[in-house]
Structure 1
């Protein structure tokens, strides 16, 4: 037997995943997977359940039914904490800490990608010179860039990105695409939610289309 006879399991796999709120279905059942070096683009309008799906995958909400595996093993809380970096709608920053202080605080909680420094991450996202600026003094776009710097520093292989293009200009949108490209080249994976207004980053991509009140269709990988 060779390695080709036993391909590695998907970095993330969901089977029969469903979620309801107040007995009303939000999504599911869903079956999908994403491999290392690949992105899953999750499209759908408001109310289709995109944000809820990412919160379920991150372990912030409990699914009604179905399973989630990471690297072929059940996604227990400790495994999720090591494997997943979640970028939600809220920046998750401490308003009275500076940009650098926020990054150092979050790295202390969640770890740091090897050989990556906070000042380098700030430069990558266009915030060089803002090291001491308080988070509450930053614009919405600058706060998003600061959360992207934290994402870049994360050692987690799986990124869950909920509308990552929101509050960004065209340069910021291109920044997100470059970051996803680099993360996938390094062997990571990403789930990216979008209304469909932006093209997916130029990476190997699967598509999951979610439609209210919970129907969905997934396609295979595309170049």
Structure 2
């Protein structure tokens, strides 16, 4: 798939919260979004996911291409068990075999009978990432996926990214994170966002620095 962003702006309560320059991701491309808290990283990912619309500019994704967004701490049904939560996604036409593969990779089976609300932060992150990867989407969007993961979880995430790329060589990955070195395995284009007082500005370039 191909992702094309034409200079976009987003406002909340007449306040400019995101000003992102134009960029493109070719099939198989990866984007690493960095910046301080409040710099618009989450807003940009939500725009790319289609959960928000831009006030100016546009986001183009080929028709029929699927998207999956991981956001930390977001669980619509926290009173469900882990097994029920995964079953919910299967009901939404997630790829069952892929979802099962990632749930085992993140070692979730030991918590299948536990309610999501009772999981630790790290295990909630694993569950959320399992759901995102299990979508087997053409555009994978991850917001601070390392936050809350222990060393084992970080290694599992690295393996998930490798498997995603092997399974979907034309898929695009967009990640918001402060940890550039960890995601170097994807050879991503770098998009740093910078917040400045009452306005939002962004610069765009390649490389990891």
TM-score range, shorter chain: 0.7 to 0.9
Q: 1:160: which partner in 2?
A: 141
Q: 1:216: which partner in 2?
A: 202
The DSSP-based 3-state class of the residue aligned with 1:62 is coil
Find the aligned partners of 2:17 and 2:99 in 1 and give their Cα distance: 40
Unaligned runs of 5+ in 1: 1-9, 74-78
Normalising by structure 1, we get a TM-score of 0.82
Q: 1:145: which partner in 2?
A: 126
Whether the 8 Å CA contact 1:18–1:63 is kept in 2: the answer is yes
Aligned residues: CA RMSD: 2.1
Q: 2:69: which partner in 1?
A: 86
Counterpart of 1:116 (choices 95, 98, 103) is: 98
- What displacement does 1:208 show? 0.2
Whether the 8 Å CA contact 1:54–1:160 is kept in 2: the answer is yes
Whether the 8 Å CA contact 2:5–2:59 is kept in 1: the answer is yes
Normalising by structure 2, we get a TM-score of 0.87
Asked whether 1:17 is paired with 2:3, we answer: no
Q: 1:58: which partner in 2?
A: 49
Q: What whole-Å deviation, never above 9, does each CA across 1:30-73 have from its counterpart, x for those lacking one? A: 212222222100000011110111112222222111111113x5
Q: 2:88: which partner in 1?
A: 105
- What displacement does 1:206 show? 0.5
- What displacement does 1:198 show? 5.3
Find the aligned partners of 1:189 and 1:83 in 2 and give their Cα distance: 11
Unaligned runs of 5+ in 2: none
- What displacement does 1:220 show? 3.1
Q: Mapping of 1:22-41 within 5 angstroms? A: 22-41=13-32
- What displacement does 1:218 show? 1.7
Whether the 8 Å CA contact 1:44–1:211 is kept in 2: the answer is yes
Structure 1 outlier segments of 4+, above 6 Å: none
